[in-house]
Amino acid sequence: ERQEEERVQKEAEAAEEERKRKEHEEYLELKASFQLEEEGFDANQSQEDEQKLLQQFINYIKDKKVVNIDELASHFSLRCADCVCRIKDLQENEQLSGILDERGKFIYISHQEMQSLSKFISTRGRISISELATACTSRNIISLKPQLQNLETISSANIE
């Protein structure tokens, strides 16, 4: 009986080894049938798309001048917190300048407007916030009006 059990066990082990060998051969045949023609295309494409989307994000803010963060997040399918982080990063990288207020709005101020504001303050000396606000609107130092021609271009690009 004992010899019979050993013989059955050896046969089972041999059958298991044969099954594993066949599986490995099938795997090698399948592996050989795959062919890799190009690498990294999707990664490059997605990076280009991401860069294009970031540029659209920047242009949208610049063209709107005063942007509600909720509206911006909705327009670009982002969370509000992600929009705020992205704006702060762009400000740190000097790709965007402006003021992010506590009411959830971002006011874009161009480099030229910053220079005009700096020149005005330097010329006048010490001024109050109300004088500053009046000067910005009456002298057009900082324009809060959107650039409509560019917004139409952005809106049509997002529809495509």
Whole-angstrom distance, CA of residue 88 vs CA of residue 82: 10
Rounded CA separation 82/69 (Å) = 10
| pLDDT mean over 26-44 | 67
Label residues 19-41 b or e (16+ Cβ within 10 Å = b).
Answer: eeeeeeeeeeeeeeeeeeeeeee
Percent of the chain's residues with pLDDT above 90? 29
The structure tokens listed for 74 are 């909705």
The whole-number pLDDT of residue 39 equals: 53
Q: b/e per residue, 63-88, with b = 16+ CB within 10 A?
A: bbbebebeebbebbebeeeebbebbe
- Beta-bridged to residue 68, according to DSSP, are 105
Top-ranked range on mean pLDDT: pick from 6-15, 32-41, 42-51, 151-160: 6-15
**What's the whole-model pTM score?**
0.59
Q: What is the pLDDT of residue 38?
A: 53
Whole-angstrom distance, CA of residue 96 vs CA of residue 87: 7
User: Looking at the predicted structure, is the pLDDT value of residue 48 above 90?
Assistant: no
**pLDDT exceeds cutoff 70 at 10:** yes
